[in-house]
Structure 1
Amino acid sequence: MRAREEPDLDGTLTSPEAGNRAIRGGAIRVAGYGAGLLLTALVTPFLLRHLGVAEFGQYTTVIAIVTMVQGFTDAGLTIVGQRIYVHADAAGRRRLMGDLLGMRLVLTPVGIVLGVLFSVVAGYPNAIVSGTIVAGIGTIFAVLAAALAMPLGAELRFGAVTAIDFSRQLAIVVGITVLVIAGAGLLPFFFVYIVAGLVAIAVALACLGTSSWFMPRFDLRDSIAFLREALPVGLSLVVNTSYVRALIVICSLLATEEQTGLFSASYRISEILLGVPQMMLGAAFPILAHAHAADRDRLAYALQRMGEAALLVGVAVGLVLAVGAVPIIAVLGGSEFGGAADALRIQSVAIAGAFMTQVGTTALIAVHRQRELLLVNLFALVVVVVLGVTLIPAWGADGAALAASIGEVALAVVALTLLSRAEPELRPRLMYVPKLLAASGVAMLCLLLPGSDAIAAVAALAVYLSLAWLLRAVPDELLAALPRRGRAGAPHAGP
């Protein structure tokens, strides 16, 4: 395996081409995410038919437990680690990576043990308890692979990061397919996650090169200092991923089972799409974190362009959901979930808002505003719960979707407001907002077109993008990043 030289991280993150690399990297991350979802969608029907309803429910329960453990034990570590990494020297980076691997080797097994204990206390059958142990080991390997990928993201090597994620997803799909063909029982399916985690680690090590392999480091003082910085961010991220899920719980308590099921269908679609802004905008985080200390003008420029690109894409995604809600629900849920179309149409506003939320929260982390980040997410939780309790009894699934949309928009507005108050020089110029809203309003008229809503959704997207371009609401950097354009990168002030 080839060793590689220590990268010039400062040069990478300050180069005129850094912005284009982040844009293309975000696109690569989204494409990899979409490919993984497609593979999962293709294999899931075969897995469901093979296991049957009861065993598939047990399988899903195990995956839910270990996924929650992974989320809780990882929350804040990766993004705060990357924030520190971009400012450290070569020795500091190796020490940081050793600390991160060491903390994950401690925290994740503890989380898995707690997950197993929960499955025992909850009275789950042995299949779920055993499955949690086996899949939990696979989760430890997956977490280690994610830690190894962090330097690659900081170096803007998003093709390598995507390869690591996709290799794990591909290994899971291949393993499930082989076991279905072999007629395996439930437990072997969880061993697939161990193999997939090992595959991801192997790909990560290959991408890093032998000179960049890291050994775990267990330094209590350094770990405590790191966790003190990461904990507020981690709590904020946990709250951020939980506040809309709270609506499902409220729905189950205050509405009928049918309305809860309809909102759950709408929520599941929106939950999948929420990964898009995280992948797309997360690619720029190393540039933002570095610019915070090295070049404030560059940071302001990057955030401005990120906001413009985020709203452009977010409104486009929301528009397709709003106009094409009926065929989207029909394809993904069938006629049984036809009533979820209205909830999805309402929740399309939340998807558009989520892109702007990602801009605000990413910026708050980059500029070390953990307190504001936690406050804004707690605010969103309160808003969503209050609105949910108020709207769901009267309007069911539609009320839950409305609460989610209002909460997401409020979160975006408050996050950007707190950012502007804490860092006045980062206050965004919002002249692009009315342009994009006007373009989307005109595009919504495509709902009046005769024919199917699927065709209307495609037409609406085309109208929206055309008007956005005519109104000069498309950032030049997005066009410059297209491979066929052959244009020079953004000026040094840009991202």
Structure 2
Amino acid sequence: MVAVLGWIGTVVVVRALSPAEWGQFSFVFGLLGLLVVFTDLGVGRVVLHRLIDDDPHTVRATATSFVMLRALLGVVGYLLALGYVIALDSQREVVLATATAGLVVVFATPSHALSVLYQSRHRMGYVAAVDVAGQIVQVASIVAAALFAPILLVLVLPAVLKEIVVLAAKYRGATSDNGLGLRFPRTVDLALWLTFLREALPMSIGYGLIFAMVKSDLLVVEACGTFEDVGEYSVAYKFADVLDLVTVAAMTPLTTLLVAAWPAAPREFAARSRQGVVALSTICACAAAAFVPVADSVLSLLYGSEYRVAADAARLLVLASTGTALVLVGIAVLAAAGRHRDYPWIAAVGLTLNIGADIVVVPSWGYDGAALVSVGSSALTAALVWAVVAGSSGVRSSFPLRAVATLAGITVAVVGLGTVLVRYVWWPAVPVISVALLVAAAVLTGVLRELTTLVREARS
């Protein structure tokens, strides 16, 4: 719901701004998106274990130290973003927009820390409701800004307003008796900061490098092209962003289940891993089958015919999201098994190859080349991550290779059929037909067997 509402807001912003202004808008939030990753410690096993401790004092001390550390990292991230655009000698509008929109990092970073507290209590329903409410506030504010003050500096404010609303609601829910009922002490245990950093830093570096690999091409496109190019490429990214958000959302319960199963229940641990891979692979396959044949028409309908040129890049980025999803599941498996130091180097290799290839390809092929590089780098990184998983003691048999290969073959066939079908059938019907065919084929071939097993377990 957050992704769909955010999408609606993006459509309004695109139509309210000129292509160059939309490019500036996209560049600013693309930069901030990268920094949010580096200022987010992730869900360290030590944090989750301490938050589910039976001792209330341990829980309170952990919660306070974790939230305050993340708040400090948010301020650091804001200063880094502002320093980056100033160092690049960016246009005055870009610097002012970054100074304003950068407050998103300041508020979002401790807000994400509060989400971990809810995660430890399996109370993510409240977080979801708060996020949706905040997104509604943002969309309403965007519409008002587009009607009365359609300029860059005003249209970045709704994102800041949303984060303030979400942070306030999460804090109130965490401290109220009807919510988590936490009482935050006034003192911060600085020794816990060292514990968190020692445990979570490798994980944070790994996640940060992975998301940098996914988003760094936007900065390369800006450096090699124009803000119009950035705007078109950002429109192409919106469809992949929805898939990425689904993946990140799925990681929250999956990580908790994996941590709970390790090391006492290795079979359950492997089963949860396989179920996560199958679930996310199926979602990505459905997205590809639905979107790839009709990308041109969808971009023209939502953003205007001038953005139709980004259709091929959008197709490639949706495919790249599948690789990203497999990478994140693999990282969650390694992290839950305590293998934090096994994947940062893999992420570093993926990021290095991605940026290096972008620097070579983008000047000649533009953002289509950047999207193609994203497909290759995400696939390579996924292969490396799961190779490490396969070589790790106790976490083997965690990847359903046969199911994923079968699903990939089905997806290629359905996408090919949809591409032909769109010439003869009303295009909005093609995604429905494609998804129905893909799901039916997945059921008949037994691809979804892992998920049906999970359903039976839940019912019992």
Q: Is the 8 A contact 1:80 1:229 kept in 2?
A: yes
- Which residue of the partner structure matches residue 89 of structure 1? 54
Choose which of 279, 289, 292 in structure 1 pairs with 2:259.
Answer: 289
Q: Distance in 2 between matches of 1:195 and 1:69?
A: 19
Tell me the residue number matched to 1:13. Answer: none
CA distance in 1, matches of 2:458, 2:367: 46
Change (3 A) 1:135 1:463: closer
- In structure 1, what is the Cα distance between the partners aligned to 2:98 and 2:232? 29
Q: Which amino acid aligns with 1:470?
A: L
**Structure 2 stretches of 5 or more lacking a match?**
none
Quick check: 1:44 aligned with 2:13? yes
Amino acid at match of 1:161: V
Matches within 5 A, 1:228-239: 228-239=198-209
Q: Within 2, Cα distance between the matches of 1:144 and 1:282?
A: 17
Equivalent positions of 1:142-157 (< 5 A) are 142-157=108-123
- Listed one character per residue, the Cα deviations across residues 317-340 of structure 1 (whole Å, up to 9, x for unaligned) are 122232222222323443333333
Cα pair 1:135 1:190 within 8 Å, conserved: yes
Structure 2 distance, partners of 1:106, 1:291, is 32
Opposite residue 103 of structure 1, the aligned amino acid is: L
**TM-align CA RMSD:** 3.6
Query: Percent of pairs identical after alignment?
Result: 22
Output the CA distance in 2 between the equivalents of 1:488 and 1:148: 30
Which residue identity lines up with residue 455 of structure 1 in the other structure? Answer: A
Residue of structure 2 in register with 1:20 after alignment: none
1:266 counterpart = 2:236: yes
Cα deviations by residue, 1:102-148 (Å, 9 ceiling, x for unpaired)? 21232222333444445555556777666655555554333333222
Select the residue among 346, 354, 373 that pairs with 2:324: 354
3-state DSSP of counterpart to 1:342: helix
CA distance in 2, matches of 1:347, 1:185: 29
How is 1:246-395 mapped onto 2 (pairs within 5 angstroms)? 246-250=216-220, 263-388=233-358, 391-392=361-362, 395=365
Q: Residue 465 in 1 paired to residue 430 in 2?
A: no
Rounded to whole Å, the distance in 2 between the matches of 1:408 and 1:106 is 31
Q: Which moved more, 1:122-131 or 1:298-307?
A: 122-131
Q: Aligned equivalents of 1:213 and 1:58: distance in 2?
A: 42
Q: 1:439 aligns with which of 388, 400, 410?
A: 410
CA distance in 2, matches of 1:317, 1:375: 30
Deviating more after overlay: 140-149 vs 93-102: 140-149
1:448 equivalent to 2:416? Answer no
Check the 8 A contact 1:330/1:338 in 2, yes or no: yes
Shift in Å at residue 416 of structure 1?
Answer: 1.1
What TM-score does the superposition give when structure 2 sets the normalisation length? 0.83
Contact 1:288–1:299 (Cα < 8 Å) also in 2: yes
Aligned-partner Cα distance in 2 for 1:406–1:219: 44
1:469 to partner: Cα distance: 1.0
In 2: Cα distance, 1:62 partner to 1:393 partner: 21
Q: State the AA in 2 paired with 1:93.
A: V
- Report the Cα distance in structure 2 between the residues aligned to 1:259 and 1:185, rounded to whole angstroms: 19
The number of residue pairs the alignment matches comes to: 451
Q: Please, what TM-score do these two structures have when normalized by structure 1?
A: 0.78
Q: Secondary structure at the match of 1:422?
A: coil
Distance 1:490 1:394, change over 3 A: farther
Tell me: CA distance 1:53–1:216, structure 2 relative to 1, closer, same or farther (3 Å). Answer: farther
1:158 & 1:66 partners in 2: Cα distance?
Answer: 25
Query: Which position in structure 2 is the counterpart of 1:102?
Result: 68
User: Which residue is equivalent to 1:406?
Assistant: 376
| CA distance in 1 between partners of 2:366 and 2:100 (Å) | 39
Q: How does 1:49-198 map to 2 (within 5 A)?
A: 63=29, 66-74=32-40, 76-79=41-44, 82-85=47-50, 88-90=53-55, 91-118=57-84, 132=98, 135-137=101-103, 139-178=105-144, 183=149, 195-198=161-164
Q: Distance in 1 between matches of 2:227 and 2:159?
A: 33
Could you tell me which runs of 5 or more consecutive residues in structure 1 were left unpaired when the two chains were aligned. 1-31, 482-486
Preserved contact between residue 20 and residue 227 of structure 2 (Cα < 8 Å): no
**Deviation readout 1:340-364 (Å, 9 max, x if unpaired):** 3333334443122222222112212
Name the CA distance, whole Å, in 2 between partners of 1:34 and 1:388. Answer: 27
Q: Assess if the C-alpha contact under 8 Å between 1:101 and 1:215 holds in 2.
A: no
